Chains A and B, each alone.
Chain A
Amino acid sequence: MHARSEPATDLASMVPAPFRVAGKRRDTADTWTFELLGEDPLAFAPGQFTMLCAGGAGEVPISISGDPDRPERLTHTVRAVGLATAAICAAEPGSVLGVRGPFGAGWPVADAQGADVVIAAGGIGLAPLRPAILWMLARRERYGRLILLYGGRAPDQLLYQEELDAWAQRGLQVLVTVDSAGPEWLGHVGVVTRLVKRAKLDSTSSVALACGPEVMMRFAVSALAEVGVPTDRIHASMERNMQCGIGHCGHCQLGPTLVCREGPVYRWSELDRWLAIREL
């Protein structure tokens, strides 16, 4: 599964469909996970995103964080960082949000079958990776080692804390670290890149999926490459100024590609030449 979407011209991808908020859970002080119900199930590939809007507050690209095997409920984890996301986070059960999509290229979870898969997530970057984790855990026997390296700012800002143990019991090796913590925290403290060496990867058979702040991803990729994972086996989800979501407006251009259409998931070997150009 490494879906590539074609430029969309149909009306359905341009007009938001109404989705009712069926459930809402607070993950951290400023981050909420929503369960949305539409008229029809929204099938999606792990790593794809939708354009999500609350009435009158603008539209934002948000990665789908739900289970791809349960498309009847659209799940989004949203952090309130601006006008549009704050309006979405304020939506209460029963209210209606607008959804366009799904859009973009997903994680190559099907191509990675047979390999060890290391997942490097930073902060809210775990949300776009959650569908890939759920998809692979549902097909656990098809993979070698599955390893999650998850870094956050502080213990109370880690996402899906109640799920991490359950994932571990289903065969995901979970290593968590935070940048800072009080003495009550018994886990790792330090940057997520430090976990790469601790994971003791078999670099010859590993595929890596990375999502988080771009600075974190750069250093995570560097740490992965240092232990021998080739950059054409490292995939990263990029964030740019996506507006139309369907490859028309050009706002999310990165080099010769449009992140909403060719991305948001790229092979790092396709990306690094463009990221090296600071003006892009």
Chain B
Amino acid sequence: MGQRMQTLDETIAAAPVFAGLSADQLTLIAGCARNERVSAGALLGREGDPANSFYLIRHGSVALELHAPGRDSLLIETLGDGDVVGWSWLFEPYRWQLDARATGPCALIEFDGSCLRGKCDRDHELGYDLMRRSAASLLETLQSTRIQLLDVYGHARAL
């Protein structure tokens, strides 16, 4: 017998970013979510565009890129299973800061950012919880970026 497919609610509840939220909170979040599948190369978000959505990667990989005129896009980071793509929906001016592109076929959960923002405005406990989680994720990203900037694999004397 094959494995039973996880429901949307179960997938959201199992995601590291939502770990520990109450059943009621998870229900509120799932109300703004839907399953989505995209092909390789699909653009999930484009730098400067309104950030109306964000994504949880179920399976696949998404590259965060920075556009540079006259040259190939600069690859900043790749995200994988269980990672969240995009936090700009939560912060003004609600615009994508980078391009987010699927590097292969991806199974995602797409969240309606304005729907969830509205729920956070009405339910401050949910809003506080999500804000804490976004801050933790952003802090991790900041720390990773600092390590990347150090170029730790360069010659020892360069450190």
A residues sitting closer than 8 Å to B (CB atoms) are 81, 122-124, 151-153, 157, 177, 179-183, 185-191, 193-194, 197-198, 212-213, 215-216, 219
B75 at the interface (CB under 8 A from A): yes
Residues of B within 8 A of A122 (CB): 152-153
CB-based nearest A residue for B65: A183
Contact of A191 among B104, B147, B155, B156 (CB under 8 A): B147
Tell me the smallest distance from the CB of B152 to a CB of chain A, in Å. Answer: 4
Contact of B156 with A81 in the complex, beta carbons under 8 Å: yes
Q: Please tell me if the beta carbons of A219 and B143 are within 8 angstroms of each other in the complex.
A: yes
A46 CB to closest chain B CB, in angstroms?
A: 22
Contact between chains at B76 and A215 (CB < 8 Å): no
Docked pose: A197 CA to B152 CA in angstroms = 21
CB neighbours of B78 from chain A (8 A): 177, 187-190
Q: For B155, give its contact among A81, A198, A215 (CB under 8 Å).
A: A81
Do B152 and A213 have beta carbons less than 8 Å apart? yes
8 A-B Cβ contacts within 8 A? Answer: A81-B157, A122-B152, A157-B153, A180-B75, A185-B75, A189-B77, A191-B144, A197-B16
**Closest B residue to A184 using CB positions:** B72
Considering residues A151, A190, A197, which has the most beta carbons from chain B within 10 angstroms of its beta carbon? A190
The answer to whether residues A153 and B154 also contact, given A191-B148, A213-B159 and a CB cut-off of 8 A, is yes
Taking the nearest CB of chain B, how far is it from the CB of A86, in angstroms?
A: 12
For residue B60, CB closer than 8 A to chain A, the reply is no
C-alpha gap A241/B147 in the complex (Å): 24
Query: Which A residue's beta carbon lies closest to that of B81?
Result: A198
> Measured between alpha carbons, how far is A124 from B156 in the docked complex, in Å?
11
Report yes or no: B144 in contact with A194, Cβ–Cβ below 8 A. yes
B155 to A: closest C-beta gap in Å: 5
A213 touching B144, Cβ below 8 Å: no
**Cβ distance A95 to chain B, nearest Cβ, rounded Å:** 25
